[in-house]
Amino acid sequence: MPDDRPAASNYRYISQPRRTKEDKRFITGRGAFVQDVQLAHTKHIALVASPYPRANILSIDTSAALAMDGVLDVITGAELTEHTDRLYHGVDLPNVRWHPLAVDMTRYAGEWVAAVIADSRYIAEDAAELVAVEYEPLDAAIGIERVMEPDAPLVHPDHGSNILLKKKFVWGAVDDDFAAAEHTISYRARWGRSSAVPIETFGVITRWSEKDEVLEVWASIQMPQYQEQIADALRIPLNAVRVHNYIDVGGSYGVKRGIKQTVLSGYAARKLGCPVRLIEDRIDNMSGGDAHGPDRLFDVTLAYNGDGLIRSMKMRVVDDVGAYPGRSIQQLGKPISALCGPYRMSSIEYDVTSVTSNKTSQVAVRGFGQAPTNFALETGVEKIARRLGLDRTEIRRRNFIRHDEFPWKIPSGTAYDSGDYHTVLDKAMRFAGWDALIAQRDAARAEGRLVGLGIATCLEPGGGNNIFEHLLNEKIQITTFVESALLKIDGQGQVTVAISTHTAGQGHQTLAATVAGEELERDPDGIRVVHLDSLEALPTRGPVASRMAIMLGSAVSKAARRLRNRMIHIAAHDLAVADTEVEYADGEFTVRGDPARKRSWLEIVFIAHRQLHRMPPDTEPGLQTIEVHAVPGGGKLPNEKGEVQIYPCFSFQAHIPLVEIDRVTGQVEILDYAVAHDCGTVINPKIVRGMMMGGIGHGIGAALYEKFDYTEDGQLLSGTFLDYLLPSAHEIPDIRDTEHCTPSPLTSHGQKGSGEGGYLGAPAALASAVNDALEPLDISLTELPMRLADIEAALHTHANPVPETAP
Contact residues for other proteins (CB under 8 A)?
A: 19-20, 22-31, 33, 35-36, 38, 69, 122, 196-201, 248-253, 281-282, 504-507, 686-687, 689-691, 693-698, 700, 720-722, 726, 728-730, 732, 734-735, 758
Cβ closer to ligand FES: 413 or 701? 701
CA angle in degrees (0–180, nearest 5) for 632-638-643: 90
Of the candidates 243, 272, 277, which has an alpha carbon nearest to the alpha carbon of residue 45? 277
Q: How many residues bind ligand FES (CB under 6 A)?
A: 3
Smallest distance, ligand FES to C-beta of residue 364, A:
18
**Which class for 228: exposed (0-12), middle (13-18), buried (19 or more C-beta within 10 A)?**
middle
Euclidean distance between CA atoms 76 and 264, whole angstroms: 10
| Cβ atoms < 10 Å from Cβ of 693 | 15
Cβ closer to ligand FES: 503 or 715? 503
Euclidean distance between CA atoms 84 and 80, whole angstroms: 6
Query: Dmax of the chain from CA atoms?
Result: 92
Residue 21 interface partner, choices other proteins, ligand FES, none, CB cut-off 5-8 Å depending on type: none
Cβ closer to ligand FES: 31 or 407? 31
Residue 30 interface partner, choices ligand FES, other proteins, none, CB cut-off 5-8 Å depending on type: other proteins
Smallest distance, other proteins to C-beta of residue 549, A:
14
Pairing of strands 296-304, 183-191: antiparallel
Residue 696 interface partner, choices other proteins, ligand FES, none, CB cut-off 5-8 Å depending on type: other proteins
Cβ closer to other proteins: 68 or 138? 68
Smallest distance, ligand FES to C-beta of residue 222, A:
13
Residues in the chain: 807
Q: Alpha helices, DSSP H only, in 336-460?
A: 370-388, 392-399, 421-432, 434-446
One residue of 137, 143, 251, 642 binding ligand FES per CB under 6 A:
251
Euclidean distance between CA atoms 56 and 134, whole angstroms: 9
Residue 627 interface partner, choices other proteins, ligand FES, none, CB cut-off 5-8 Å depending on type: none
Residue span 453-492 as binding mask against ligand FES, x where in contact by CB under 6 A, dash where not = ----------------------------------------
Cβ closer to other proteins: 196 or 773? 196
Cβ closer to other proteins: 26 or 246? 26
Residue 695 interface partner, choices other proteins, ligand FES, none, CB cut-off 5-8 Å depending on type: other proteins
Cβ closer to ligand FES: 46 or 607? 46
Smallest distance, other proteins to C-beta of residue 251, A:
4
Q: Which H or E run contains 121? A: helix 121-128
Residue 281 interface partner, choices ligand FES, other proteins, none, CB cut-off 5-8 Å depending on type: other proteins
Cβ closer to other proteins: 299 or 731? 731
Residue span 324-363 as binding mask against ligand FES, x where in contact by CB under 6 A, dash where not = ----------------------------------------
Residue span 501-520 as binding mask against ligand FES, x where in contact by CB under 6 A, dash where not = ----x---------------
Smallest distance, other proteins to C-beta of residue 363, A:
15
φ, ψ at 300 (rounded to 5°): -120, 140
CA angle in degrees (0–180, nearest 5) for 395-400-403: 145
Euclidean distance between CA atoms 343 and 378, whole angstroms: 10
Helix H, strand E, coil C: the string for 201-265 is CCEEEEEEECCCCEEEEEECCCCCCHHHHHHHHHCCCHHHEEECCCCECCCCCCCCCCHHHHHHH
Smallest distance, ligand FES to C-beta of residue 128, A:
20
Cβ closer to other proteins: 640 or 734? 734
Is residue 729 close enough to count as binding ligand FES by CB under 6 A? no
Cβ closer to other proteins: 65 or 303? 65
Amino acid present at 549: A
Residue 371 interface partner, choices ligand FES, other proteins, none, CB cut-off 5-8 Å depending on type: none
CA angle in degrees (0–180, nearest 5) for 196-199-203: 95
Determine contact, residues 568/599, Cβ cutoff 8 Å.
no
Give 471-525 as a DSSP string: HH-TT-------EEEEEEE-TTS-EEEEE-S-BSSS-HHHHHHHHHHHHHT--GG
Residues of span 163-222 touching ligand FES by CB under 6 A:
199
Smallest distance, other proteins to C-beta of residue 254, A:
12
Cα-trace Rg, the chain:
28
Residue 29 interface partner, choices other proteins, ligand FES, none, CB cut-off 5-8 Å depending on type: other proteins
Cβ closer to other proteins: 468 or 673? 673
Cβ closer to ligand FES: 52 or 705? 705
Euclidean distance between CA atoms 60 and 72, whole angstroms: 17
Euclidean distance between CA atoms 371 and 460, whole angstroms: 9
Smallest distance, ligand FES to C-beta of residue 249, A:
9
SS3 183: strand
| Cβ atoms < 10 Å from Cβ of 33 | 15
Smallest distance, ligand FES to C-beta of residue 757, A:
18
The Cα-based distances of 55 to 48, 96, 135, 154, 767 in angstroms read 15, 16, 6, 12, 38
- Put residue 521 in one of left, alpha, beta given phi > 0 → left and psi -120 to 50 → alpha: left
Cβ closer to ligand FES: 2 or 29? 29
Smallest distance, ligand FES to C-beta of residue 502, A:
15
Of the candidates 591, 571, 589, which has an alpha carbon nearest to the alpha carbon of residue 581? 591
Smallest distance, other proteins to C-beta of residue 100, A:
23
Smallest distance, other proteins to C-beta of residue 283, A:
9
Smallest distance, other proteins to C-beta of residue 35, A:
7
DSSP 285: I
The residues that touch ligand FES, with contacts defined as CB under 6 A, are 199, 251, 505
